[in-house]
């Protein structure tokens, strides 16, 4: 099973991912977690370039997809095939929201490249932590080049539009809740959705 956690920077994705992994492991499940971009040596190198260099939007998109292809082929597919639960901090929805809605690149092209780089793998369930960009920016200690208010507003709208289209897969969570409340909501959704949890 593949579960992804999405949202703008500062929404609380990484913290929720860690606590969800802990919950599933306590229930006896074999769980692995990765971040995007990242998760393999090549993908981590690409991550450094993406976060620290001012890149052309097309170059940026292709680097995200290269990082994804490395992670999916080297880690995600083998892990899923061996019966593990895989959790990802960002996946294809982030690329569509950030590069499609945020950067204004052709969304059909972004979706086609997402599908190609991910080998057609789709998440079984996605948690989207929704929060106002102003609140998210206040939470961030260290900012990278993706954290600009107008840009994050477009990205948030993109996420919400994707969630409307894919309401069965994407569950929108209130990013103003405490981490304990968010985890409680996630656990409740997991128990409703999957008998084995």
Q: What pLDDT digit, counting tens, does each position of 169-181 carry?
A: 999 999 999 999 9
pLDDT at 195: 81
Helix (H) and strand (E) counts for the chain?
A: 9, 5
Nearest alpha carbon to residue 117 among 78, 62, 40: 62
pLDDT at 19: 97
Q: Cβ distance 129 to 10 under 8 Å?
A: no
- Residue 75 DSSP class: I
Three-state DSSP state, 29: coil
Three-state DSSP state, 64: helix
| DSSP states of 94-146 | HHIIIIIIIT---HHHHHHHHHHHTTT---SEEEEEE--HHHHHHH-SS--TT
pLDDT at 167: 96
Three-state DSSP state, 161: helix
Percent of all residues in the chain with a pLDDT value above 90, rounded to a whole number: 87
pLDDT at 142: 60
Q: What is the pLDDT of residues 132-147, one digit of tens each?
A: 999 988 887 665 556 6
pLDDT at 146: 61
pLDDT at 70 over 80: yes
């Amino acid at each position: 099973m593949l579960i992804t956690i999405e949202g703008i920077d500062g929404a609380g994705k990484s913290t929720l991912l860690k606590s969800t992994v802990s919950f599933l492991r306590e229930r006896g499940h074999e769980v692995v977690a990765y971040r995007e971009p990242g998760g393999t040596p090549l993908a981590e190198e690409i991550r450094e370039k993406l976060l620290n260099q001012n890149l052309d939007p097309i170059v940026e998109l292709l680097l995200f997809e290269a990082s994804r292809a490395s992670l999916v082929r080297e880690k995600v597919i083998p892990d899923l095939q061996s019966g593990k639960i895989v959790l990802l901090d960002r996946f294809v929805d982030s690329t569509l929201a950030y590069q499609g809605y945020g950067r204004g690149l052709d969304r059909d092209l972004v979706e086609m490249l997402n599908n190609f780089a991910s080998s057609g793998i789709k998440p079984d369930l996605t948690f989207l932590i929704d929060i106002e960009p102003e609140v998210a920016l206040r939470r961030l200690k260290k900012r990278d080049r993706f954290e600009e208010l107008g840009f994050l507003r477009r990205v948030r709208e993109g996420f919400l539009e994707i969630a409307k289209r894919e309401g069965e897969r994407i569950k929108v969570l209130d990013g103003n809740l405490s981490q304990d409340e968010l985890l409680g909501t996630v656990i409740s959704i997991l128990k409703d959705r999957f008998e084995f949890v």
